[in-house]
Amino acid sequence: MIEIRNLKKSFGSNLVWEDVSFSIEQGETVAIIGRSGCGKSVLVKHLNALMYPDSGEVIIDGRNVFDLEYISLRKMRQRFGVLFQGSALFDSLNTFENIAFPLRYFTELNEEEISDKVMEALELVNLAGTSEKSPAELSGGMRRRVALARATILQPDFLIYDEPTSGLDPKTSEEINQLIISMAKNLNITSIVVTHDIHSVLKIATKVAFLEDQGLHWYGTVEELRDSDNEELMSFVSASEYQIRN
């Protein structure tokens, strides 16, 4: 479980948000939505202390991540996987080596063990048989899936997705949505998804956090979102041109 308590963050005179508090339960998929610049990316960077707040706490397993010293901080960060926007694969490495990279960097596994884990991860994202291909030879959706295999290879407890469906066609977006759901289920991963894709939110999220007016404006389940009459939330959602009550 991740508890976000009274977080406040500013850059100089630019107040991003203040007093943001909510909890993310084990196994949940929380979508973070809000207009450009409202501080979605800044918020997720606080979860694993890649950024520090002006005040407030992020509690994981009873400990405030901002109080952790070097070794505990490193261990805590290893519990997070990140799927970066645009996949961020290493162009010079093939699929196998991209996925193997965290294993080589963070573990002492031998070649056979690495190979077994990479092959298993490839199957999980439905990409068996592509281990020799370079990122340039893969479609956008396939690259996203390789990135997902890499992000989950160390079996993280928490997975942060940064715009997982941006730039993908509707069918490929749907494949990625299904994968996010199956990762959460099969690996019991707690997922935090930064997205502008309301369609995806309705498919994958269990909870939704809406940032607006320099704070957390609304937080609730997807069912509550569908029934909500919160004006700002509905105006944001309808601007995405997606009918949520269909």
Ligand X SMILES: Nc1ncnc2c1ncn2[C@@H]1O[C@H](COP(=O)(O)OP(=O)(O)OP(=O)(O)O)[C@@H](O)[C@H]1O
Contact set with ligand X (CB under 6 A): 11, 14, 16, 34, 36-42
- Minimal distance, residue 34 CB to ligand X, in Å: 6
Shortest Å distance, C-beta 129 to ligand X: 34
**Matching residue, tokens 């949505």:** 177
Residue 152 CB, shortest distance to ligand X, in Å, is: 23
CB of 10 to ligand X, least distance (A): 9
Q: How far apart are CA 18 and CA 215, in angstroms?
A: 5
CA 119, CA 121: separation in Å to the nearest integer? 5
**What gap in Å lies between CA 77 and CA 114, rounded to an integer?**
21
**CA-closest candidate to residue 24, choices 51, 61, 67, 75:** 61
Nearer to ligand X, 10 or 64 (CB): 10
What is 157-172 written as a DSSP string? Answer: SEEEEESTTTT--HHH
Of 16 and 147, CB closest to ligand X: 16
| Shortest Cβ 194–ligand X spacing (Å) | 6
Sign of the dihedral defined by the CA atoms of residues 73, 7, 235, 222, in that order:
positive
Separation between Cα atoms, residue 143 and residue 139, nearest integer Å: 6
Q: How many helices (H) and strands (E) does the chain have?
A: 9, 10
Query: Least distance in Å: CB of 40 to ligand X?
Result: 4
What is the smallest separation between the CB atom of 72 and ligand X, expressed in angstroms? 24
Nearer Cβ to ligand X, position 116 or 213? 213
How many angstroms separate the CA atoms of 161 and 84, rounded?
A: 7
Contact 102, 93 (CB under 8 A): no
- The encoded tokens of residue 31 equal 């979508």
**225 phi-psi bin (left φ>0, alpha ψ -120 to 50, beta other):** alpha
Closest CB to ligand X among 17 and 158?
17
Q: List C-alpha distances in Å: 76 to 23, 32, 151, 154.
A: 17, 22, 15, 13
**43 vs 76 by CB, closer to ligand X:** 43
Q: Which is nearer to ligand X, 34 or 149 (CB)?
A: 34
- Of 16 and 47, which has the nearer Cβ to ligand X? 16
